[in-house]
Amino acid sequence: MEQTLILIKPDAIEKRLTGVILSRLEALGLDIAGAKVVCATEALLREHYANLKGTAFVDGVVKFMMGDYNHLPDHRLYAFVLRGENAIARVRAALGATNPEKADPWTLRGQFGCIKEGVMQNAVHASGSPQDAAREIALWFKPEEVLK
């Protein structure tokens, strides 16, 4: 059974889209194996986005994920572990392209994402591979917080 990390991002939280996003992902037949509200620190986000280290846009991504481009009173994110057969591919297909302007309109990012003030706001993160999922889930969840 494959697992994937889902992060509901500040733009979706501000627009109160968490329930819609989760409902659409659950409709894929996936189970929620872990869920929590996280006040993301800069250190945690930099570790999560380690693959972007040294790029021109990593600071903007971290700033966005900390809610600095939205009107949230904290650095809140909603983290989920979803599991099921081919969970990663199924979730990524439902999300659409990372850039919401290139995502098909029926996908979550196509429907709810935008580029605002030069910042890509794409509503939700999902792991890109089984290796990414294992690393990311270990960053965001303690082992006992995820159902086996």
Distance CA 7, CA 142 (A): 16
pLDDT at 71: 64
Check residues 34 and 57 and name the one with the higher pLDDT.
34
Active site residue 75: no
Whether the predicted pLDDT of 76 surpasses 90: no
**Which pLDDT tens digit goes with each residue over 108-124?**
999 999 998 778 899 99
Q: Which of 3, 2, 5 is CA-nearest to residue 139?
A: 5
pLDDT at 51: 86
Both structure tokens of 20: 């819609």
Among the listed residues 48, 71, 75, 125, the single catalytic one is 125
Per-domain residue ranges of the chain: 2-145
CATH topology of domain 2-145: Alpha-Beta Plaits (3.30.70)
Can you tell me the mean pLDDT for 104-108? 97
